[in-house]
């Protein structure tokens, strides 16, 4: 019912309800007169039309308007739960839900998937130098830059602060490494104009590629990618460390 009201809109819905009320009122009046075996007087018919025509819109309009407001608020709340307000990327829970679904399918079809954990290098220094507003501009620029490199079938989400996840369905480690290099290059070339400054930044990446199995949970895969990410930080940042046969390499 709510979907029908939403698709029709407030005024058409009120008009339909009012018309239905008038028809029902006239029909009831005519039925009563039929059983009383008398002809319905004009004043009775006019009253049967006038009363619902006046009352129905007054009663229906606020109710329909309330339903429309509730529906709008629910959509807004769903959007807030699904998309990060600053970057427009998937939120932590939203991308985890998407990854779980794709991993189940990849497990059945025995297809490779790749997961990249990304962290912007020295982001605290950017905030300290340019303020949080400058840092926000970097995050927004990063999201745009990365989305331009990814395929439509890939998933990109912000899991907190300057930390991000990329999930690549049907992607081998070799292909994922090639993509990570394109990401590094695109990020290095990205220049964020903020006030009187130009901000450059880089990202470190931890990469795990595998055929999903029931024995390995998403949490374990994320932990592996996160460990590799911090290994990339220790190796000098602005690089990717991948997972080969259970060992970083």
Q: pLDDT category, 71, cuts 50, 70, 90? A: low
Over pLDDT 70: what percentage of the chain? 84
pLDDT of residue 139: 97
pLDDT of residue 4: 64
Q: Could you give phi then psi for residue 243, rounded to 5 degrees?
A: -110, 115
CB 213: neighbour CB atoms within 10 A?
11
Q: Is the pLDDT of residue 151 over 80?
A: yes
- Work out the average pLDDT over 57-61: 76
For residue range 135-148, what is the model confidence (pLDDT) as tens digits?
999 999 999 999 99
Choose between 225 and 244: higher pLDDT: 225
Over pLDDT 90: what percentage of the chain? 60
| Residue closest to 112 by CA, chosen among 2, 209, 39 | 209
Q: pLDDT category, 91, cuts 50, 70, 90? A: very high
Catalytic residue among 74, 162, 189, 195: 162
- Work out the average pLDDT over 107-118: 95
CA distance 28 to 119: 71
pLDDT of residue 74: 64
Most distant CA pair in the chain, distance: 98
Mean pLDDT of the chain: 86
pTM across the whole model: 0.71
Is-catalytic flag, 219?
no
Q: pLDDT category, 246, cuts 50, 70, 90? A: very low
CA distance 113 to 165: 13
* Domains in the chain, CATH or no CATH each: 2-77 (no CATH), 92-248 (3.30.70.270)
């Amino acid at each position: 019912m709510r979907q029908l009201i939403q698709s029709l809109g407030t005024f058409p819905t009120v008009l339909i309800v009012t018309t239905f009320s008038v028809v029902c009122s006239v029909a009831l009046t005519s039925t009563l007169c039929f059983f009383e075996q008398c002809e319905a007087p004009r004043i009775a018919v006019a009253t049967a039309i006038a009363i619902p025509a006046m009352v129905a819109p007054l009663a229906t309009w606020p109710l329909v308007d309330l339903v429309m407001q509730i529906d709008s608020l629910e959509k807004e709340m769903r959007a807030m739960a699904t998309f990060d307000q600053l970057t427009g990327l998937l939120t932590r829970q939203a991308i985890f839900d998407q990854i779980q679904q794709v991993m189940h399918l990849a497990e059945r079809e025995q297809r490779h998937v790749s997961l990249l954990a990304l962290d912007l290098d020295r982001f605290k220094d950017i905030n300290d130098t340019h303020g949080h507003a400058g840092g926000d501009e970097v995050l927004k620029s990063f999201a745009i830059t990365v989305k331009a490199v990814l395929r439509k079938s890939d998933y990109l989400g912000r899991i907190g602060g300057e930390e991000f996840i990329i999930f690549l369905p049907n992607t081998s480690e070799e292909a994922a490494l090639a993509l990570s290099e394109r990401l590094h290059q695109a990020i290095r070339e990205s220049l964020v104009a903020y006030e009187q400054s130009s901000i450059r930044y880089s990202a470190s990446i931890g990469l795990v590629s595998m055929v999903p199995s029931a024995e390995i949970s998403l949490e374990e895969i994320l932990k592996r990618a996160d460990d590799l990410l911090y290994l990339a930080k220790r190796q000098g940042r602005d690089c990717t460390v991948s997972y080969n046969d259970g060992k970083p390499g």
